[in-house]
Structure 1
Amino acid sequence: MEWDLAQLRALAAVADHGTLEAASRELHLTPSAVSQRLKALERSVGAVLLRRTRPVTPTDAGRPVLLLARQLAALTTDAEAVLESAATTRPVVRLAVNADSLATWVLPALASVAGEVRITFVREDQDHTADLLRDGSVMAAITSQRTPVQGCTVESLGAMRYRPIASREFAARWFADGVGPAALAAAPVVVFDDHDRLQTERLEEAGVAWGTAPWHMVPASTQFSEAVRYGYGWGMLPDLEGRVWDGVDLAAVPGSCLANHDVALYWQQWSLQTASLDAVAAAVRAGAAASLRHP
């Protein structure tokens, strides 16, 4: 079929911004014009592409069309960026990244390309970032999933080591007699969100069922670390972050039931190649080589 670039841009804008009104501001069109383009595209495809919820969500038929729209947008933006008449154009790369990587090594790694590429970070747990590749929400992802998403390439970046850390006052109060199952069942623990399995899996490995110990939920990397520092509970902190302040590595306590844990990270990106995506990938590889653990 013949694809209309303006209609595809309307689809991507509505999906990205959640409403016709927000998409119209992005495209400098009226909401009615955006709606007409979207309806024309749906007539051409012969299927409803977006659920008219707030925010809108793609249908099963809409996901592959949305992926196409975003890939074409990436190609056209890169082409425009090299034209003399569009010298001020900056291509956009949408990148899914887990919160801990974003808070530690990814931002400094990508500083070298920030002047040439506009980067939109989409924060998501490393176990779920690949889902965003499947529906076309992002062009690349730092993920724990080594099996490539259809239409993507994958390569190893290394591993982030996490250590079970507690403040000295917290450790003295709750683990004075050692870091055993009984103490872990009573001591509060800090978790990031409902997707965070780092702490729950360490407890289960120690023979403590999740829900036995009280927990605090702090869904932001910096504040998560601060909660551990202030003694809300113990938590698994990235090795890069755990050295920032003088805490206690509970895995190093003699006889401890807790252990360090390495999370392997992978770079997945669209098989489609653009200059901007290649530049971001190269910067991520260099940052990972300098910051992550390697066998």
Structure 2
Amino acid sequence: MDELPLDQVYTLLAVVDEGTFDAAAAALHVTPSAVSQRIKALEQRTGRVLLMRSKPVRPTESGEVIVRFARQLALLEKDARTELGLAETGKSRQSSRLTIAVNADSLATWFLLAVRQVPQDPPICFELRREDEAHTTALLREGQVMAAVTSSPVPVAGCSVRPLGLARYLPVATPEFEQRYLAGQGLADGLREAPVIVFDRRDDLQDAFVRSLPGNKKQGAWGAGTLRHHVPTSEGFCDAIAAGLGWGLVPEPQALPLLRSGALSTLTTDHTVDVPLFWQQWKLDSPALAAVAGAVAETAARELLPAH
């Protein structure tokens, strides 16, 4: 295969980012026909279908490789222009754009503290994608993000990985909820019947916690109860528990103020859940990406528990 024409590569990226050929054409200031011709030419050159013509358009597995290459190339070009002193005129005045996948609990507790420490000379524009820590690596693999906070220590192809620490979760509920649903019986038995708060349908944290409790002989498919309230924000999740709708596992920094005030109580002091977090990023010699990685590692060392 010959070299990949950059106009075709960037056109593919525009189509994926904008979602349609027409929107990509508007962003690139060309006609939709020109966009279609460039994509067809790139597919012919690579001998692979690169896009699924859905709404919005989605890259195929081969297309993801090209998308990742395009994003890396754009970042390296921006860094090179900055080092050459060419970042003060025209389009080059635009800030570097870093796309990062972060789980909701990290966003609500410590990650923005890290972002605040990143130097803004030259400026960096952050595009944060909220995703469960068990699934952020998929966005890395697809080329949708350049870095991710993840629970996976296995590096995605073309990425490096470093441990950040442990995020501790405490099982909590209101005292009234605990008295109503859990008094007079074993914790495992009570939690299999009590209402529970979950983040979304992929959230297995509460179920795994119940299955891990001593004396849990009934290994049901759910672990926790079937009466579930889905609350897909970190702050809303905690608020739902404080409102007495159910019990759940809350990040320690969010739980401690409510425990001190008496609004919540811990269901057990013997069992917590520690989720290991890792930082994965593209293997690029990018000053902007390195600055973010350094700030994230420094903040995580201060805010998270040390890894075992």
Find the counterpart in structure 2 of residue 240 from structure 1: 253
Distance in 1, Cα, partners of 2:98 & 2:143 = 12
Q: Any idea what the Cα deviations from partners look like across 1:233-269, whole Å, max 9, x if unmatched? A: 00110111112323111122xxx7xx21000001111
Instruction: State whether residues 129 and 141 of structure 1, in contact with CA within 8 Å, keep that contact through their aligned partners in structure 2.
Output: yes
Paired residue secondary structure (2:61): coil
| AA at the equivalent of 1:248 | S
- CA RMSD of superposed structures (Å): 1.8
Instruction: State whether residues 134 and 149 of structure 1, in contact with CA within 8 Å, keep that contact through their aligned partners in structure 2.
Output: yes
* Residue 142 of structure 1, CA deviation: 0.7
1:139 and 2:139 matched: no
Match of 2:108 among 77, 97, 103: 103
Match of 2:242 among 198, 218, 229: 229
Instruction: State whether residues 16 and 59 of structure 2, in contact with CA within 8 Å, keep that contact through their aligned partners in structure 1.
Output: yes
1:263 and 2:270 matched: no
Find the counterpart in structure 2 of residue 290 from structure 1: 302
* Residue 212 of structure 1, CA deviation: 4.1
Change (3 A) 1:218 1:114: farther
Instruction: State whether residues 195 and 225 of structure 2, in contact with CA within 8 Å, keep that contact through their aligned partners in structure 1.
Output: no
Distance in 1, Cα, partners of 2:119 & 2:195 = 40
Distance in 2, Cα, partners of 1:212 & 1:198 = 13
Percent identity for Structure 1 against Structure 2 = 44
Distance in 2, Cα, partners of 1:289 & 1:128 = 23
1:125 and 2:132 matched: yes
* Residue 68 of structure 1, CA deviation: 1.1
Change (3 A) 1:80 1:4: same
Find the counterpart in structure 2 of residue 278 from structure 1: 290
Match of 1:189 among 187, 190, 196: 196
Match of 1:251 among 268, 271, 277: 268
User: Which has the higher mean CA deviation after the structures are superposed, 66-75 or 167-176?
Assistant: 167-176
Q: Any idea what the Cα deviations from partners look like across 1:206-241, whole Å, max 9, x if unmatched? A: 335216441111111111111111111001101111
1:73 and 2:80 matched: no
| AA at the equivalent of 1:292 | L
Instruction: State whether residues 48 and 62 of structure 1, in contact with CA within 8 Å, keep that contact through their aligned partners in structure 2.
Output: yes
Paired residue secondary structure (1:86): coil
Find the counterpart in structure 1 of residue 174 from structure 2: 167
> How many correspondences in the alignment?
290
TM-score, structure 1 normalization: 0.92
Can you give the 5+ residue segments of structure 1 that lack an aligned partner in the other structure?
A: none
Distance in 1, Cα, partners of 2:79 & 2:27 = 19
Can you give the 5+ residue segments of structure 2 that lack an aligned partner in the other structure?
A: none
Distance in 2, Cα, partners of 1:240 & 1:194 = 24
Instruction: State whether residues 92 and 119 of structure 1, in contact with CA within 8 Å, keep that contact through their aligned partners in structure 2.
Output: yes
| AA at the equivalent of 2:82 | A
Paired residue secondary structure (1:293): coil
Find the counterpart in structure 2 of residue 57 from structure 1: 58
Distance in 1, Cα, partners of 2:119 & 2:177 = 41
Change (3 A) 1:35 1:179: farther
Paired residue secondary structure (1:61): helix
Distance in 1, Cα, partners of 2:30 & 2:78 = 19
Distance in 1, Cα, partners of 2:34 & 2:82 = 27
* Residue 23 of structure 1, CA deviation: 2.5
* Residue 34 of structure 1, CA deviation: 2.5
Distance in 2, Cα, partners of 1:33 & 1:114 = 39
Distance in 1, Cα, partners of 2:139 & 2:9 = 19
Instruction: State whether residues 197 and 248 of structure 2, in contact with CA within 8 Å, keep that contact through their aligned partners in structure 1.
Output: yes
Distance in 2, Cα, partners of 1:270 & 1:230 = 42
Q: Any idea what the Cα deviations from partners look like across 1:1-31, whole Å, max 9, x if unmatched? A: 2222222111112112322233334334343
Distance in 2, Cα, partners of 1:140 & 1:52 = 27
* Residue 114 of structure 1, CA deviation: 6.9
